[in-house]
Structure 1
Amino acid sequence: MREHSFQSHDGLRLPVHVLGSGPPLVIIPGWLGAYTDWYPVVQRLAQDRTCYIWEARPYFDPGVAGIDVLAADLRALIQAFDLQAPLVLGHSMGALTCWEYVRQFGCDGIGRLCLVDQSPRLLTDADWSLGLFGAFSEADNQAFIDALRADFVGTTMAFITRGRQVEPGSGAARLEAMFRETRRQRLDALDPEPWIRCWEHFSRRDYRPEVERVDVPTLLVFGARSFYGLDVARYVHRHTPDSLLRVHALAGHSPHQDDLPGFLENVRVFACD
């Protein structure tokens, strides 16, 4: 992959990794996601598309990196590379970034969306049960934030592991075991505070109004074994006007890792439709 960079709205330069040729595909990894996590996807999709994967602001900005700022970064990337109607693919926090983009800018500058395994609202209460784990109150969220500050690596490793669903003996299981220690080392090298503050910000947002404002064709990809659950997938599909839902039966929160062949097929068919 070729490394480029772009200057965002506030002057900060952010790296972007580019591979392939053809129509543009912008990939926004999830919370704590690395561009290298997406290399197996990009390596295959780059045959037909020019893939752009950024390194998110919390890697470089010690200040408050709220989800609103990440959405402004996405707009700056699209403009900096003069991307024409790109397909924007957001996983987890990346999907929240897309909904925040819709809140600020509508779908201006975006041709299509692919949103991967995310609820528009993480916190649950008496009126909303479709958030994280199906039961994740403000008190639960604060306890998680406190645990991050007490043991960032241990807490995040446990959270990431809870999101993965791999079949014993499968290729995904072997890759997960291979990269677990690499992931731990990468997390240990991070400054935790920007990531924690980012979580504090997006975990309290409610994007249900933005789900209904999406006015471009949208592919929704969910894992049947995700900690969000199929009711979330059905809700987002029902309320996103021009959407196609694809559920990966054996995948958790990361269908692009738990079921790479199926994920690639879904994206290819949608992108060429």
Structure 2
Amino acid sequence: MSMLAGKYIEVDSGVELFVQEAGSGEPIVFIPGFTFTTEVFSKQIEYFSKTNRVIVIDPRSHGRSTMSIHGNDYITHGSDLTKVLQALEVKNASLVGWSFGCLTVWEYIKQSGIDQIKSLVFIDMPPKSLSMNKDDWVEGQLDDIAAIYNTYLRNSSGQREFIKNYITQVMVQRDLEEDELTWLVEQSLKTPYYIASNLFSSGMFSDYREEAKKASQSVPTLLVVAEHWAESAVNYTRELIPDAKIEVLGGHMMFWEYSEKFNELVQSFFNEKK
């Protein structure tokens, strides 16, 4: 594996994002989901850095980036991404967003366009989180989402319980070893609960259907969705963004649990678009 180099990039007054790079070639940029960090993409860094310049980012208030009292929303995360890519002189990039990291990518596209984008990979996230339409692919029922916000994300113990349940019930399909579960929970808890609640509400009230549609018409787009909601996700995606390629694999964190299969799917998609 190529040497992983870490650096900090200032995106706002007093706010620095932690960024790691490995390899050389055409750039691939990975953005983690809600409260997670660069570390979840270790298998992707190892695989893709053999042929590409791989960049992974801790978003604002995640991991080793600055914990900021402002800008904990996906509009700001989108502009943060623009500043990081400019600072690193990234051009003709493939952007890979996981979960709420997809919102960062769509917001980047909304603000900065697609001139510097070669291809897009979205991992298991609908472009609109909530809907009154029962046939839409959504993050969950409104009452359930409200309960998470009002019950779990009000203190550290609630956040810990929520993320632990989400990891074991939605993100990973196999039974985790205790140390694996602890590591994953600790990744998330680097973001304090009072910031996590801001990010959660911002993500749940986002609507990037227009950006998803326009982007997939302009650049090659792959969507990898989890098995547990594959039917609604596939049907919804085919209707909204028919130009996108869709693959179904594992749970919400399939890129980590089934890294070999996931990496091969993505590599195959990149090869098709050359």
TM-score range, shorter chain: 0.7 to 0.9
Q: Given the superposition, is the C-alpha separation of residues 48 and 190 from structure 1 closer, same or farther in structure 2, using an over 3 Å criterion? A: same
SS at match of 1:36: helix
- Pairs aligned (count): 260
Matched, 1:145 2:149: yes
1:227-247 CA distance string (max 9 Å, x none):
x43322332244335421111
Are 1:21 and 2:28 matched, yes or no? no
Equivalent residue number for residue 72 of structure 1: 79
Gaps of 5+ in 2: none
- In the other structure, the counterpart of 1:81 is 88
CA contact (8 A) 1:90 1:114 kept: yes
Give the 5 Å matches for 1:114-125. 114-125=121-132
Q: What letter is aligned with 2:21?
A: V
SS at match of 1:149: coil
Contiguous gaps of at least 5 residues in structure 1: 168-172
Task: Tell me, yes or no, if structure 1 residue 184 matches structure 2 residue 185.
Answer: yes
| Structure-2 separation of matches of 1:141 and 1:185 | 22
The 5 A counterparts of 1:1-273 are 1-8=4-11, 12-59=15-62, 60=66, 61-126=68-133, 129-133=136-140, 136-137=141-142, 139-146=143-150, 147-150=152-155, 151-167=158-174, 173=175, 177-214=178-215, 215-225=218-228, 228-240=229-241, 242-248=243-249, 251-273=250-272
Contact 2:230 / 2:248 at 8 angstroms: preserved in 1?
no
Contact 1:220 1:237 in 2 (8 A): no
Q: How much does 1:105 deviate?
A: 2.5
Q: TM-score scaled to structure 2, two decimals?
A: 0.87
* Cα 1:244/1:126, change in 2 over 3 Å: closer
Take 1:247 and 1:125, find their aligned partners in 2: how far apart are those partners? 25
Q: CA deviation at 1:127?
A: 5.9
Residues 15 and 54, structure 1, Cα contact 8 Å, conserved in 2:
yes
Structure 2 distance, partners of 1:80, 1:241, is: 34
Whichever residue aligns with residue 41 of structure 2, its letter is W
Deviations 1:46-83 (A, max 9, x none): 10111111111023212241100001111111111111
> What is the letter of the counterpart of residue 89 of structure 2?
D
SS in 1 for 2:166: helix
Q: With structure 1 as the length reference, what TM-score do the two structures score?
A: 0.87
Determine the C-alpha separation between the residues in 2 that align with 1:15 and 1:54.
Answer: 6
User: Whole-Å Cα distance in 1 between the matches of residues 51 and 238 of structure 2?
Assistant: 27
Q: Give yes or no for contact 2:153–2:196 (8 Å, CA) kept in 1.
A: no
**Partner amino acid for 1:142?**
A
Deviations, residues 190-227 of structure 1 (Å, cap 9, x unaligned): 422112101111211122222211121111111212xx
SS at match of 1:111: strand
Q: Name the counterpart of 1:170.
A: none
Instruction: Determine what percentage of the aligned residue pairs are the same residue.
Output: 23
